[in-house]
Chains A and B, each alone.
Chain A
Amino acid sequence: MSAFAEATVLITHEVGLHARPSVKFTKLAKSFAAEVEIALAANGPWFDAKSIVKVMAARAPKGTMLHIRASGDGADDAVRALAELVRRDFDEGAGHARTA
């Protein structure tokens, strides 16, 4: 069983990894036991994906390649689920971007 996993995913959400998406992102990250981190470049700096303060501090706008990595129990699942959330545009329809 792998104790380390990573993935890279393009942020397509209109306003990036911003207030509402970051709430969903950190909530999902916290549901895994593994340590999860994100970065805007392969060589870091890395931010704790379970902390909304840190995720917001990453300042990831639309068009960013988001690097996600995890280590420990369920690392694979965590990375897969989080990358999937970003790909699904955080489950927000086009309607959100319009009111923004």
Chain B
Amino acid sequence: MPEPLRLQGISASVGYAEGPLFNLDGGTARYTGKATAGEEKDALEIAITSATDRLATLIESADDEAAGILEFQLAMLQDEALTGPAFAAIRSGMPADMAWRQALDAEIAGYDMSDQDYFRARAADMRDIRDRVLRALTEEQESAAPAGAILYGEDIAPTRFLETDWSGGGGIALKAGSTASHVAMLARSRGVPMIVGLGVVSLGSSPADPDGLALLDAEHGGIVLAPSKAEIETFRRSSSSFAARRDKAEVYLAKPAVTRAGTTVRVQVNIADPSEVDGIDIATCEGVGLMRTEFLFGKAPPDEETQYRAYRKVLEWAGNKPVTIRTVDAGGDKPVPGFTVAESNPFLGLRGIRLSLARPDVFRVQIRALLRAAVHGNLKVMFPMIAVIEEFKRAAALFAEEQTGLIARGIAQKMPPLGIMVEVPSVAIAPEAFLDVAFLSIGSNDLTQYVMAAARDNTAVAHLNSVRHPAVLRLIGSVAAFGLREKIPVSLCGDAGGDPAAISALLEAGLRDLSVAPAQLAMAKAAIADVTV
């Protein structure tokens, strides 16, 4: 029997799905070359016409939102600026399939390289156009996914989404993908659970298993392949409790979070990608409690301008409300080519602030982008994986140095309050060393895994990985008490903050400031309303 495999990504559309895994990245049929350039040209023309007709048919039955997406593809296919280079290549002797692929790949590369989420996300539409015509050329039929299947692959084409019957359930799990893609928008508006960013993983034999059952938890952004009986049972409980909570929670979204005893709780959101804020009404939350910056470091460390624009976008969206940006937490389970180092035990190695301090060339770029972005809103900055006060002092000194540099160059900047994540047990046990920090933010995921010595990504020890273990709760309680005594604000930004089962314990431990995934906002508020603290 294959071992259960748990993969973690980012939720693009919240919900639960249980079903067979369906591999989207099947092979493509081979194109048979023609005798003359004239015949190649005809073949491509016929394929484009067939793709165009198919799109036109889809548009007829599509709703407004879907039609908008399809019309974009149709306009592209009808544009000679797109098809011209392919026909030119055919005239110079290239077979139709290669000519089309080459022309479209050149166009796709331009979108992939864009520093704007919106344009980059259009690469998926361009791939859809490319593959639609290629399929028409090879007369290959797309194999239909069984009802209720979880579609798994590199990325998914918008037309594939629209041609899939979702009435029987099912969901989407992508290795790449984007929360800003057309499919992600469609999935959110139709309530199809979807996660993206699972990364490149070897699945071994599990997905080839014909019964390859998978459990998609798009509330927390995870998927379990080849699950055990116990995992299936737990999943079904979470899934039905989610459905019940969602129905009940909607009414709480627009209200402030207040417990049954009248205690006000500040609820902020965690975001991983700046485009996520487009789907959130700022009036429903108190700001951003954690903005991750790893997404910017996907393929390589990003330049200052790219970072500055990403931070500024979120700050402007939040207006006067605070936005807490965490400096890059690469390493651990989040490798970045050209930045992180290969280690035998990465969770205990050079990750978070340790890596940033070891690579000041990369860190200084992020610091400058943050100092410049700070003038556009209410920015706070925190450092991940702080273990000793010296790390905080060195990081703060780099901020001061870069600020001096920006002032000398006459560039607008502002020093944000600097705080730390409380996730290494040394900080939670002896917080008195950290009187100089502006705020403390408890990272419950890492704190739990370090206190319990149970890796977050290992299902075999998942039963140990509980934030509600008395040892973890006692540490959270003592950090909250320390903050109250020393007048240092304490918040919590791990998954526990959005977990209705944990919220009561967190409030009892003294916390009044939680940051949760956007999809959990309503349910977290609903759970808070039930607490008697």
Contacts and interface: CB of A to CB of B under 8 A. Distances in A.
Interface size class of A (residues with CB under 8 A): 20 to 34
Contact of B69 (A16, A19, A57, A97): A19
Nearest to A52: B75
A2 interface: no
Interface stretch (A20-28, A33-41, A69-77, A81-89): A20-28
Nearest to B188: A99
B360 to A, nearest CB: 31
Interface stretch (B118-126, B228-236, B518-526): B118-126
Interface in B68-112: 68-69, 71-72, 75-76, 79-82, 107, 110
A14 B316 CA distance: 13
Interface string A4-28: 0000000000111011101100110
B62 to A, nearest CB: 13
- The secondary-structure label for the interface of chain A is helix
A55 to B, nearest CB: 9
A93 to B, nearest CB: 11
B25 interface: no
Nearest to A15: B118
- The secondary-structure label for the interface of chain B is helix
Given A19-B122, A56-B122, A100 B278 contact: yes
A51 B80 CA distance: 8
Interface in B111-152: 114, 116, 118-119, 122, 125
Nearest to B114: A59
Interface residues of B, number: 27
Given A14-B278, A53-B81, A53-B82, A23 B118 contact: no
Contacts of A57: 110
Interface in B167-204: 180, 182, 185, 188-189
Nearest to B180: A100
A52 B83 CA distance: 12
B279 A20 contact: no
Contact of B116 (A20, A53, A61): A61
Nearest to B68: A20
Nearest to A16: B118
A38 to B, nearest CB: 14
A26 B79 CA distance: 10
A53 B189 CA distance: 28
A99 B65 contact: yes
Interface string A44-70: 000010011110110101000000000
Given A15-B118, A61-B116, A54 B81 contact: yes
A51 B278 contact: no
A53 to B, nearest CB: 4
Nearest to A97: B278
A23 B82 contact: no
Interface of B: 65, 68-69, 71-72, 75-76, 79-82, 107, 110, 114, 116, 118-119, 122, 125, 180, 182, 185, 188-189, 278-279, 281
Given A19-B68, A20-B71, 15 more contacts: A18-B119, A22-B75, A23-B75, A27-B75, A48-B81, A52-B79, A52-B81, A53-B76, A53-B107, A54-B81, A56-B119, A59-B119, A98-B281, A99-B188, A99-B189
25 contacts: A14-B278, A16-B116, A18-B118, A18-B122, A19-B69, A20-B71, A22-B75, A23-B68, A23-B71, A23-B75, A27-B75, A48-B81, A51-B80, A52-B75, A52-B81, A53-B76, A53-B81, A53-B107, A56-B122, A59-B119, A97-B278, A98-B279, A99-B188, A99-B189, A99-B279
